[in-house]
């Protein structure tokens, strides 16, 4: 496993980070989830990402149990705040001081730890003054409950404003967690250049495009039983944007590139996002331990420039590049 610095901080994280969105506490039984975490640890992954909203707090509980007994100083544990949790009361959502202060305590209890290494704003809150949010994060850091602060799916302008306030308030905003893959490159024109300028790294989610870039979905064919495209607990909705025959056909054109590098299609997809020097880590999830074992083999892989060009040519116009898609992923008002 290779390790990279997160932003301009001194914190190193595993460049393949284990994420438990859409799995722990919902799609995967607890024993299987624990087996996946053990496989991650056994294969060099030290960084684990979750959020309070995943399975309405259950994912944090499962991860905390799975990591119990591990040397805390050898781990990097990340979580997030914003989306509704609990009974979804009027203050159980957003980035108000009240919600942040209550949420960090809940997350620490569920994760069975005294602090998280990174606490992330899961979306931008249009209904809370940014200064209130950043002051609350500053107090979380000063209280020792989080070491660093990050954001997720913020626009370049929002990142710049948040970074300026973090500087004024004396803490480090060091990361951005956006969706990024060969098929979804909306951060490249604005978010990445701004982040690079400010000393902020990307921790990217869905590098395999919800499994589409694994090549297991064939154009014109019914999705395999048990795959994410058949999941009625949220997986099928998330993957639907890519389940089009023109996309699936272009993805199959990547197979010769993967074969040339002696990689699986999924490994190629993970290695591709790690080629971006502003990406500190690719988030991968798993429902079976063997998926973790295969995914970590993408660590340290370098794709030659000529093959990167072939990937671009193979995918062509199906790639989504519109920077406005970042803002579109955040609610205009707080969800209820």
In order, the DSSP letters of 287-313 are: SSHHHHHHHGGGTT----HHHHHHHHH
Which residues carry out catalysis? 54
User: In this structure, what are the phi and psi dihedrals at residue 105, rounded to the nearest 5 degrees?
Assistant: -65, -40
CA distances from 182 to 41, 228, 280, 302, 320 (A): 27, 19, 16, 15, 9
Tell me the H-state helices in 117-264: 130-142, 156-169, 191-198, 235-239, 245-252, 255-260
User: In this structure, what are the phi and psi dihedrals at residue 47, rounded to the nearest 5 degrees?
Assistant: -110, 130
CA distances from 95 to 132, 142, 246, 332 (A): 8, 18, 39, 14
Integer Cα distance of 114 and 103 in angstroms? 14
Tell me the H-state helices in 76-129: 97-111
Quick one: tokens of 250? 């272009």
* C-beta of residue 12 within 8 angstroms of C-beta of residue 4: yes
Angle at alpha carbon of residue 186, lines to 210 and 294, rounded to 5°: 30
């Amino acid at each position: 496993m290779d390790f990279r610095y997160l932003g301009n901080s001194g914190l190193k994280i595993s460049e393949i980070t284990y994420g438990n969105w859409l799995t722990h506490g919902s799609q995967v039984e607890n024993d299987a989830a624990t087996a996946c975490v053990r496989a991650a640890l056994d294969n060099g992954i030290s960084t684990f990402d979750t959020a309070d909203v995943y399975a309405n707090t259950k994912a944090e509980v499962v991860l905390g149990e799975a990591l119990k007994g591990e040397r805390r100083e050898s781990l990097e544990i990340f979580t997030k705040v914003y989306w509704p949790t609990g009974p979804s009361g009027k203050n159980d959502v957003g980035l108000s001081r009240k919600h942040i202060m209550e949420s960090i305590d809940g997350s620490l209890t569920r994760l069975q730890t005294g602090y998280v290494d990174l606490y992330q704003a899961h979306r931008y809150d249009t209904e809370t003054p940014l200064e209130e949010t950043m002051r609350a994060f500053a107090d979380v850091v000063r209280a020792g409950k989080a070491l660093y602060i990050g954001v997720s799916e913020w626009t370049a302008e929002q990142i710049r404003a948040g970074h300026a306030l973090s500087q004024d308030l004396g803490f480090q905003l060091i990361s951005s967690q956006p969706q990024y893959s060969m098929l979804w490159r909306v951060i490249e024109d604005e978010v990445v250049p701004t982040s690079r300028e400010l000393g902020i790294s990307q921790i990217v989610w869905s590098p395999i495009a919800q499994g589409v870039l694994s090549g297991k979905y064939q154009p014109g064919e019914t999705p395999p039983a048990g795959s994410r495209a058949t999941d009625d607990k949220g997986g099928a909705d998330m993957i639907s944007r890519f389940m089009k025959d023109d996309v699936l056909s272009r993805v199959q054109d990547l197979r010769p590139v993967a074969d040339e590098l002696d990689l699986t299609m999924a490994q190629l997809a993970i290695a591709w996002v790690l080629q971006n020097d502003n990406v500190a880590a690719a988030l991968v999830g798993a429902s079976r331990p063997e998926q973790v074992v295969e995914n970590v083999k993408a660590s340290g892989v370098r794709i030659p420039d000529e093959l990167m060009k072939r990937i671009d040519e193979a995918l062509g116009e199906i790639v989504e590049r519109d920077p406005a898609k970042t803002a579109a992923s955040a609610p205009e008002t707080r969800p209820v």
